[in-house]
Amino acid sequence: MMDYVNVYVLTNLTIDGNGEVKSKVVGVTFNIHEAEAHRAKGVENEFDTFQIDSDWREDAEVTATVLAMRAFREIVALQVEEALR
């Protein structure tokens, strides 16, 4: 069974120079009270709720490690290629 945690993405609506309404992400929190306080500051403020795997930190660390290994592999491949020239 997978455990999930709620993540609240705080947004703010603004009007750009062309008069179009744009939504901008202004923060992220795990705390519903912070999200509701953000929304209470004005009608232009809102938040979206997402559920993520509770082991997201471990997944992020694995992803970061894999990306670092791929980058290192590319560097080594370039060095090998240069050495063979």
pTM of whole model > 0.95?
A: no
- The per-residue pLDDT for 56 is 64
- The per-residue pLDDT for 1 is 54
Q: What's the angle, vertex CA 25, arms to CA 24 and CA 29, rounded to 5?
A: 155
Query: What number of CA atoms fall less than 13 Å from residue 70's CA on the CB side?
Result: 6
Torsion sign, CA atoms 20, 14, 27, 5: negative
Q: Are 14 and 24 in contact (CB under 8 A)?
A: yes
What span, in angstroms and rounded, lies between the C-alpha atoms of 72 and 34? 40
pLDDT digits (tens, 9 = 90+) for 11-29: 999 998 999 999 889 999 9
CA distances (Å), origin 51, targets 3, 12, 30, 62: 10, 21, 10, 20
pLDDT digits (tens, 9 = 90+) for 27-77: 999 899 999 999 999 999 999 999 887 666 776 777 777 778 888 888 888
- The per-residue pLDDT for 2 is 59
- The per-residue pLDDT for 64 is 75
